[in-house]
Structure 1
Amino acid sequence: MAFQATVYRILIASPGDVGTERELISDVIYEWNALQASRANIVVLPVKWETHSAPLLGDRPQEIINKQLVQDCDLLVGLFWTRIGTHTGVSESGTVEEIEHFIEQGKPVMLYFSSKPIDPTKIDIGQYQKLDAFRSKMRPLGLIESYENEADFKEKLSRQLTINMQRILDGQPMKPPTKQEQAEQAEAVKSLMKKDSIYIEDYEKDGKIKSFLVKGDTIKIKDKLSKEFNGKWNSSLGGWIFPITRKIEVAEFLKKNA
């Protein structure tokens, strides 16, 4: 029988080395719906880039995914094993950029790190070091979880998803924070996650975004930012400023050289 329900979207965010767990997240969500949806009048939908995005030109690939998927989701389940992913020109990887977006918007993030064994000869040391640094940056922001194998992950996610969804059943809906809370969280995230890195930040003026900033440790590339891309250093904003029309080419340059 049909029933009316509130729909919550859960974004599944991860690099490509945890494919089995990505499928398990969908299974856990479907199981939750089978047990709870009609009783609670709540439906939870899994959202993944491979099923919910569509080809489109005109911006960074991750920015297109952000607009098509990320901004409309209510909760994120993120997981890592040995890789962090590929730099987007803005963040260390697409998964990291999605997590940053959720944290800055005050939306809940459930973050898991796999401790499954792996053949040492198959580990990309650079990727693993970046992942370890990212994990260290996440610890001060709240609780993170680890798991030993797929069965352990499914059991933990099932239980912990129920805990978070119970907040909704108890009348504590997932809602955005106030503007002041958003600003405070954004500053905290930037100070933790952007330290000793290079990143892009949109610059809003008079209610419009017509330019962007490149911030962080830009000493080694400052000549190229200035001479090749005509960037202007703005000491009050603490970064190199460019017109928004050059965002894609500057992002590509940072991806290759920063």
Structure 2
Amino acid sequence: MAFQATVYRILIASPGDVGIERELISEVIYEWNALQASRANIVVLPVKWETHSAPLLGDRPQEIINKQLVQECDLLVGLFWTRIGTHTGVSESGTVEEIQHFIDQGKPVMLYFSSKPIDPTKIDIPQYQKLDEFRKKMRPLGLLESYENEADFKEKLSRQLTINMQGILDGQPIKPPTKQEQAQQAAVVKELMKADSVYIEDYEKDGKIKSFLVKGDTKKLKDKYLEMGGKWNGSLCGWIFPIARKIEIADFIKKNA
């Protein structure tokens, strides 16, 4: 029988080495819907870039995903094992950028790190080191959970998803934070996640975004940014470029990460 329901979308964010767990997330969500959807008049939908995004030109790939998926989702489940992913030109990886966006917006994040065994000869050491640094930066935010195998992950996710959704059932729906709360959260995230990296930040002036800043650890490439037409702004602590060059500069940062 048909019923009216409020739909909540869960973004599944991860590098490519946790494919089994990505499928398990969908299973857990479908099981939750089978038990709770009609009773609670709530439906939860899993959202993945490979099934919910569409080809589009005119911006960097991750920004297209952000506009098509990230901004529209209500909760994020993030997964990591041995890799952090590929630098986007703005953040350490697409997954990290998605997590950062959710935290900045005050949206719920469920973050999991796998402790499954792996052949040491197959570990990408630089990737693993970056992932370990990211995990340490996330720990003060209290967002971490670990799991030993797929069964352990599914059991923990099922229980924790129920806890998070129970807040909605109890009349405490997911809601965006105030602007002041967003600003405070954004400041914490930037301090934790971007201190040792190079990243891009839009620059708004007179209510319009006509340029952007390249900030972070830019010293080793300062001559290149100057050569590419960047202008250093000491008060903003970054290199200013016109917004039309955002894709080009993001690609340069990605290649030199």
CA apart distance, 1:187? 0.5
Residue 102 of structure 1: how far off its partner (Å)? 0.1
Q: What is the rounded CA distance, in whole Å, between the counterparts of 1:169 and 1:187 in structure 2?
A: 31
| Number of corresponding residues | 257
Per-residue CA deviations over 1:141-161 (Å, capped at 9, x if unaligned) read 113100000000000000000
1:71-150 matches, cutoff 5 A: 71-150=71-150
CA distance in 1, matches of 2:152, 2:142: 21
Please tell me whether the aligned partners of residues 109 and 143 of structure 2 are also in contact (alpha carbons under 8 angstroms).
Answer: no
Q: Secondary structure at the match of 2:18?
A: helix
Query: Paired residue for 1:207?
Result: 207
Shift of 1:207: 1.7
Report how far residue 139 of structure 1 moved: 0.4
CA distance in 2, matches of 1:167, 1:73: 17
Corresponding residue number in structure 2 for 1:12:
12
* One-letter amino acid matched to 1:105: Q
Range with greater deviation from structure 2 (203-212 or 10-19) = 203-212
Tell me, in whole angstroms, the C-alpha distance in 2 between the residues paired with 1:246 and 1:74.
31
Q: Distance in 1 between matches of 2:39 and 2:239?
A: 54
Q: Deviations over 1:36-85 (max 9, x none)?
A: 00000000000000000000111000000000000000000000000000
Partner in structure 1 of residue 26 of structure 2 = 26
2:181 paired with 1:191: no
Shift of 1:256: 1.1
- Output the CA distance in 2 between the equivalents of 1:56 and 1:39: 39
| Distance of 1:208 and 1:164 partners within structure 2 | 37
Q: 1:245 is matched with which residue?
A: 244
Identity of aligned residues (%): 88
CA contact (8 A) 2:210 2:242 kept: yes
2:67 aligns with 67
- Partner Cα distance (1:49, 1:207) in 2: 31
Deviations 1:88-131 (A, max 9, x none): 00000000000000000000000000000000000000000000
The CA distance in 1 between the partners of 2:208 and 2:114, in whole Å, is 41
- Runs of at least 4 residues of structure 1 off by over 2 A? none
TM-score, structure 1 normalization: 0.99
Shift of 1:188: 0.6
In 2, the alpha carbon distance for the partners of 1:13 and 1:143 equals: 14
CA distance in 2, matches of 1:154, 1:106: 25
**CA displacement at 1:206 relative to structure 2:** 1.7
Which one-letter code corresponds to 2:244 in the other structure? T
Superposed CA RMSD in Å reads 0.6
CA distance in 1 between partners of 2:218 and 2:181 (Å): 29
The 5 Å alignment of 1:16-55 reads: 16-55=16-55
Aligned pairs for 1:147-162 (under 5 A) are 147-162=147-162
Q: Distance in 1 between matches of 2:143 and 2:12?
A: 18
1:161-186 superposed Cα distances (whole Å, 9 cap, x missing partner) = 00000000111111000000000000
Unaligned runs of at least 5 residues, structure 2? none
